[in-house]
Structure 1
Amino acid sequence: MTGTTDTARPVRDEHHSVGELVSQATEQLSHLVRQEVALAKEELAAKGRRAGRGGGLLGAAGAVAYAGLLALAGTATAALSLTLSVWAAALIVTGALFLFAGLLAAAGRAQLRRAAPPRPEETLGSVRADVEEIRERAHR
């Protein structure tokens, strides 16, 4: 034994062949893709449930508002018929209702045009981050 010290690095027992590394990477990527798809499905399902409940409540509100509008139209016609003939009063109220419906339709159409398509934003962000991480590691 001489007085020299051994400065060699410790040998790791984890030597993998290229085939094993490719197999592991493929398996991990497949697992990652399955997880991202599951996340997207859950996110869209949750958004769909909320939209369904909201749509149902809006539909019920619309039905009640429609009944109220009919009652208001009858009241307005009766009130105008005190000063005008009944047919003229009914014609004025009908014209006002069609004008109001046209305004609502235009506003609704504008809202639909501005609405974003329903996309799983969180999942898309996660997938982008995953792809960027894979690219960075591939360049190393």
Structure 2
Amino acid sequence: MTGTIDATGVRDDRRRADGHRAGDRSVGELVHQATEQISQLVRQEAALAKAELTAKGKRAGRGGGLLGAAGALAYVGLFALAAAAGAALALVLPVWAAALVVAGALFLIAGLLALVGRAQLRQVGPPTPQRAIGSVRADVEVIKERAHHR
């Protein structure tokens, strides 16, 4: 009788296609298997990163388009509001003075919005695939742990 008996007392007579027992693998076969598994893992991690960045890009594109449309409408509305403010001030000031007051107020608001917008952009940071990076780090830790146990 051939085969091995494992720790539970069960005989293992499994054979590979080449006739050798399943546990009898050469170093070359093990290295080949490890290389294939690592290649597959790298491809899967790259696919995860690509999917994550694609989803973020689509979301950012939709958000940017909506913000652009809102900005265009607000721009047109601002002209109407500025004209109304100028007309109202022209009732108590000369027309040229009313126009200067409205223009000064608009420039002040524009400056404040620019400062707030710049601060918001600085907080965003680079677009990195955080889940994919975390997954790769976890894979590296598992590989290190298994390498130390052998």
Question: TM-score under structure 1 normalisation?
Answer: 0.91
Q: Distance in 2 between matches of 1:11 and 1:70?
A: 84
Which residue in 2 is equivalent to 1:114? 123
AA paired with 1:76?
A: A
Match of 1:68 among 71, 77, 80: 77
AA paired with 1:98?
A: F
Match of 2:110 among 101, 111, 119: 101
Q: How much does 1:109 deviate?
A: 0.5
Q: Distance in 1 between matches of 2:32 and 2:147?
A: 15
Match of 1:19 among 17, 20, 28: 28
Match of 1:42 among 41, 47, 51: 51
Which residue in 1 is equivalent to 2:18? none
Deviations along 1:41-96, one digit per CA (max 9) or x if unpaired, are 11101110010000000000000001111110000000000000000000000000
Q: How much does 1:116 deviate?
A: 2.3
Where structure 2 has 5 or more consecutive residues not aligned to the other structure, the ranges are: 14-20
Q: Distance in 1 between matches of 2:101 and 2:12?
A: 94
Q: Is 2:69 the counterpart of 1:51?
A: no
Question: TM-score under structure 2 normalisation?
Answer: 0.85
Which residue in 1 is equivalent to 2:90? 81
Q: Distance in 2 between matches of 1:69 and 1:121?
A: 40
Runs of 4+, deviation exceeding 4 Å? 8-12
Q: Distance in 2 between matches of 1:74 and 1:21?
A: 79
Percent identical pairs in the alignment equals: 69
Structure 1 vs Structure 2 CA RMSD:
1.2
Which residue in 1 is equivalent to 2:145? 136
Report how many aligned residue pairs link the two structures.
133
Q: How much does 1:108 deviate?
A: 0.5
Which deviates further from its counterpart, 129-138 or 8-17? 8-17
Q: Distance in 2 between matches of 1:53 and 1:11?
A: 58
Q: Distance in 1 between matches of 2:12 and 2:78?
A: 84
Q: How much does 1:11 deviate?
A: 5.8
Q: Distance in 2 between matches of 1:11 and 1:107?
A: 70
Q: How much does 1:117 deviate?
A: 1.2
